[in-house]
Structure formats: structure tokens, C-alpha cells
Structure 1
Amino acid sequence: MISHDGAAVVRPSTLAWVGRQLRPGERIVRTEALHGGITAEMRRLTVGNRDGDLRDLVLRTFVDPYFVEHAEELLTREAGVLAQLTGTGVTAPGPVAVDPTAAHCEYPSLLMTHLTGRTVLDDEGLEARVPLLARQLLAIHALRPAQRPGEYRAWTTADAVDPPDGADAAAWAAAADVIRRPAPPYEGRFLHRDFHPGNVLFDVAPADPARLRITGVVDWVQTSWGPADLDVAHCSTNLAMLHGPAWGLRFAEAYEQAGGALAATAGERLYWRLLDALSFTPGVEWVARPWQEAGRTELTTAAVEARLDAYVTALLDALG
């Protein structure tokens, strides 16, 4: 009998498909819903064999109509990227099987190996985690895969920007004007494209904080080729909304201290930073909800919008 909670139930066709990917003599003994994801249902599947040996797999399933529509591109890309990352020194899940068009499953799905560690979204200990995040991102940018991923896509335009309620209208208008300009020239890098604390796993050892380390990076759906500034910008925006605007500003400094190179001028840096920050509107609730589920209940949509507004203003003051 499979042990699971209600949210972790795997749909029948998907369950049968997963079963065909297992080793001889293995079966699923437990399923567990993984919370904190934004775009997909995530489940940990514990698999056992006749000798009692256990291992974990992770199942990503797209059910939202938008992501179902784009699943073939997204899941095929992620499975390919995970295969390329094997043996690179950047720890990521390994691909097991993919059904990007739901030919066998109820919904498009990707089965992959499970990584140890957990996400850490608390304010406590952030000072120690930020340099680790910066060094991990630098290692990703140093990758030179045999097959280069597609060019990055901007996630917003100046005309699509929708300031949060109560935001500084003049500041947001000025910010929109910045990203209305042509994109600055850049030297391309391998981008995770969705690098932020929610996609980084830590092996936390509370008894010895000095042993804190990253055990892996997940969610490679958006991997692309583009400026390092864009990945730095995305992590910075997330840090600003999670922990306050000052941390969003500090991450770029940590990346440079780790040896990373960003755009040469303040205006170019401001472009990339705002291109990401402004892409969170409308839709801040998409990121607030999983953070609340992870225990940050004080991060209501209104609270996150207020931090995003303060961060946009801070960027204009610092780099404008």
C-alpha cells in the first residue's frame, strides 16, 4: 500500500508511467507533496525494493493551463539542461524520464532524482547565506555547455508595467521609461534565469553554522543565455521582497565580491535590475503565496508589494 497525504496523490495514468521508469523490483511506498513551488505541482516519491532499500524521486507536474500549453518546450528544455549539468560541479537533479506532451500522464510531467537539503527563507542567518548564493550563481555563469540554451526572453515591457496600489507613481513611471530603452549590449552567460532562495537547497547544520553549504539548485525550466546581470537582478528582487530592499541591493555587491562581473555602467545595471523587478507586477501574489506556505505568513501580498515598491525606488536612487 502506498502511504501519502491527500495533496500528494499521484493521478492513475501518471502513477503507471512512473512505475514503468523504476528499476526491477521497485515500487512507490510513499508520496509527499512539496510546497513552495509556483508553476507546478511537486511531489517527492519514495521508492523501495524487495531488500528494503529506499530512494527518493521528484515528480514535477504542470496543471495550470498556461504552463500546460507551454509544457513541451519547458519540460523538454529542463530535462536536457539537467542532463548537461551532470558532472559539471553544479549540483542539480538528474533527469529520469519526461512526458512533456502528456502522452502517457494526465498532465505534462518530469521525473527526476531527489536532492538532499532544504530551502531556507528565514531572515535569520541571511548574512551567511548571501555570499553562498552569490558564489553558487557565479559557478552557474561559468558553465559553457556544448549546446547553448536559447536567448533569454524579457518577462515584461514598459507598457505592461502595473504599479502596486499605493506605489510611488512617479518612480514607477520613471522605472518604466528606463526599460523602454533598447537593451544594453552584454556578454552572454549560461543563466539559470530563475535563481532565488526558493530554488536553492541548503544543508543546514544549526550546531555548527560554519558548515552551512548549498547542496543543490533546482527548477531549471527557464534556463537561457544572456547577461549575468539578469540572474543577479532576479535573485536581488526576490531577496528584496523576502527580506527587505537593502538585501536586494547587497546581492549585486556579494556577486562582485565573489568574482563576478556585471554591466560596466550604472545605467546598464539599472536597466537589468528594473527589467526584472517590474516583471513582478501584476502577480506578486504568485510569489507571496508559496512563501506564506513555507512559514513566512507575514509576507502578505500587500507587504510584498510594499517592499517591491521600496526596492524600485531604492534602485532609482542608487543607480539612476
Structure 2
Amino acid sequence: MTNHDEAAAVRPSTLAWVSGHLEVGERIVGTEALHGGITAEMRRLTIGTRDGGTRDLVLRTLVNVVHAEDWLNREAGALTLLTGTGVPAPGLVAVDPTAARCEYPSLLMTHLAGRTVLDDEGLETRVPLLARQLAEIHAVRPAVRPREYVALTTADTVVTPKCADAAAWAAAIDVIRKPAPPYEGRFLHRDFHPGNVLFDDVLSPGPAGVRITGVVDWAAASWGPADLDVAHCSTNLALLHGPAWGLRFAEAYEEAGGVPAATASERLYWRVRDGLAFSETVRLVSQSWREAGRTELATRAVEERLDAYVTALMDAPG
């Protein structure tokens, strides 16, 4: 078996567990570390098949993660209920949420073609595709609802950047001091953003060749307001590409048939809440983007974009 790098090595008992879920005559012939995740070790496993060909699986391992059992159970449940819905999610192969057989809690799933794209180039084509995909996720009506969403950020946990417009941030913090507005529940990805969406043919000439091939990382799947997913992708786009793209995504979601909250004040609540939540994790998020190739996104640069985005939300009409 070949490893592309040391980080790709799979621990012995986990290898045995994976092998126990392969077809008769199959074996693991290669492993490769997949980079870009924050909380999980991700590996692509190349499986040699009985006919001499290969197929790929993906192994998610959570090492020293407090909520590993909950997250893996939620992801396994989400992948199961998404089967047959048309949403391009991986297929569940096996899960060991308590590390009963593996060294650490692990989930094994099918591999989807495509790659994440975080570049500025081609964004005007990808944003409507992202919006349409999110609207399709929100249209799923599961027979059994996942658990209700959780939003941990409070007015007291927000970390106002040093570069921030103090008045705008104070006003934004006041927004989330209020109770959450009522909402019509939807099936949520809860971490929908460009880093969890796979694109194929992104280098083909013209926009017609660009398509989404997969949506991954369903560990936070929840039931809650569609605006929460819209807000999360909007904030990511604002920090990756500039505040205007965060505002544009919300418009694209409506154009794609998505159904946001009825009033501007309700929509503002969720968008401000998600923007402020990033103030607590901006260093970690910016580091993951630099590791993925966006080396210019230093923490200070991302903080400045976050400030500009929160300010734009508070200045928006309505």
C-alpha cells in the first residue's frame, strides 16, 4: 500500500475496520491526506477491486474532538436521509462514532469527484450555482427531522476587531441581544460554504462547463431557519472575496427560488448573528484558507473584511 505523505497513514485498527467493510476480494492499495478541514483528519483511500480496477472512499477521523460521537452520528444520519434526494452528498459506508473498532471516532463514505474552489476567478458563475444548491437542500423534507439548530454566539462572546467601526458593531451586537425571530423550519446543512462544495470542469472554457458535483461535511446538519445557512455562506463569501459578494449571495438565493424570512429585520438578525460569530474564529478560519492556497488572507485582512461586511449589513436599507 502506498502513502502520498506521512499524514496519509491510517492507524492499524482503523485499517482493519475499513477492510471489514469492503467487498470480497477488495483491498486498500493507497491513501492520501485531504487538506482543508479544521476539525477532522480526512483521507482518500484507493481501493483495489476484484476486476483489477480501483475505486475511492473517504475516511473522516476525529482526533481529540469533544463532540466526535454526536458529530459523526449526525453526519451518518444526514447522509442516510439524503440518499435518493438528488442532493449530491456522499454515500454512507460505515461509522464508528465511539471508536469501538478504530483508534479514533471515524466515518467511511463514498468519494465524490470534483474539488473545492476558493479563487476569485469565476466567482460570478459559481455564486448562482451555490445559491441554487442551497435552495435544493432546503427543499428536502426528511421523514425524521434532525435536531434543532444551535447558535452559540451571544452578545457577550463577540470579539470586536481592533480595526472595527465601533458604532456599527455596537448596533450589530444590539441586534442579537433580541430574541431570535420566528421561522419556518427547514433542513439545514449548517456549514454550507465554498470549502464544503465540490466543483467539476472549473477550468473548462465558458460558464456552461461549471457544475457542482458534491456537498460534503454534514456533521452539523440541523433543523432551523433557511436564513441561517444563507447567512453562513454569505459571511464566508464576504471574507473570501469581499463584502459585496456576501450581500450578493443573499440575492442569488432568492433568485434561485429559496425562501428567506419575510421581513428585512428578520433576515438581518440571522446575517448579523453569523457575521458576529466569525469574530470568535477568524484566526482559525483565515489559517485554513491560507493552507488551502489563499496565502494573502492574513488574519488582519480577514478581520478588515469582516468589519466591512458587518458595517455594510448595518448600513443596508430596510
- TM-score computed with the length of structure 1 as normaliser: 0.96
Alignment partners' CA distance in 2, 1:32 and 1:251: 33
Match of residue 147, structure 2, among 143, 147, 150? 150
1:273-284 paired onto structure 2 within 5 Å = 273-284=271-282
Offset of residue 2 of structure 1: 3.0
Deviates more, 1:109-118 or 1:47-56: 47-56
Alignment partners' CA distance in 1, 2:201 and 2:37: 20
Identity %: 76
Q: Residues 144-198 of structure 1, C-alpha deviation per residue, up to 9 Å, x if partnerless?
A: 0111111111131111111122222222121111001000011111111100000
Task: Find the counterpart in structure 1 of residue 247 from structure 2.
Answer: 249
Deviates more, 1:161-170 or 1:72-81: 161-170
1:95-174 paired onto structure 2 within 5 Å = 95-174=92-171
Deviates more, 1:34-43 or 1:165-174: 165-174
Residue type at the aligned position of 2:99 = A
How much is the aligned-residue C-alpha RMSD, in angstroms?
Answer: 1.2
Q: Residues 114-173 of structure 1, C-alpha deviation per residue, up to 9 Å, x if partnerless?
A: 000111110000000000000000000000011111111113111111112222222212
Q: Residues 232-287 of structure 1, C-alpha deviation per residue, up to 9 Å, x if partnerless?
A: 00000000000000000000000111111211222111100011111112221221
Alignment partners' CA distance in 1, 2:236 and 2:257: 21
Task: Find the counterpart in structure 2 of residue 52 from structure 1.
Answer: 52
Task: Find the counterpart in structure 1 of residue 87 from structure 2.
Answer: 90
Residue type at the aligned position of 1:61 = T
Task: Find the counterpart in structure 1 of residue 316 from structure 2.
Answer: 318
Match of residue 182, structure 1, among 179, 182, 185? 179
Alignment partners' CA distance in 1, 2:154 and 2:129: 32
1:290-309 paired onto structure 2 within 5 Å = 290-309=288-307
Checking the alignment, whether the CA contact within 8 Å between 2:163 and 2:303 is kept in structure 1 is: no
Residue type at the aligned position of 2:127 = V
Alignment partners' CA distance in 1, 2:250 and 2:30: 41
Q: Residues 216-236 of structure 1, C-alpha deviation per residue, up to 9 Å, x if partnerless?
A: 100001111111111000000
Offset of residue 302 of structure 1: 1.2
In 2 relative to 1, CA 153–319 (structure 1 residues): closer, same or farther, beyond 3 Å?
farther
Alignment partners' CA distance in 1, 2:138 and 2:194: 17
Residue type at the aligned position of 2:294 = R
Residue type at the aligned position of 1:112 = M
Checking the alignment, whether the CA contact within 8 Å between 1:164 and 1:282 is kept in structure 2 is: no
Task: Find the counterpart in structure 2 of residue 200 from structure 1.
Answer: 197
SS at match of 1:153: coil
Alignment partners' CA distance in 1, 2:93 and 2:157: 38
Offset of residue 99 of structure 1: 0.7
Task: Find the counterpart in structure 1 of residue 78 from structure 2.
Answer: 81
Task: Find the counterpart in structure 2 of residue 25 from structure 1.
Answer: 25
Residue type at the aligned position of 1:101 = T
| Structure 1 unmatched runs, 5+ | none
Offset of residue 293 of structure 1: 1.5
Residue 230 of structure 1 pairs with residue 228 of structure 2: yes
Moved segments of 4+, more than 6 Å: none
Deviates more, 1:112-121 or 1:285-294: 285-294
Alignment partners' CA distance in 2, 1:161 and 1:151: 23
Checking the alignment, whether the CA contact within 8 Å between 2:49 and 2:55 is kept in structure 1 is: no
Residue type at the aligned position of 2:225 = P
Q: Residues 33-76 of structure 1, C-alpha deviation per residue, up to 9 Å, x if partnerless?
A: 1111112111100010343210000011111x3xx221111101
SS at match of 1:43: strand
Alignment partners' CA distance in 2, 1:228 and 1:49: 42
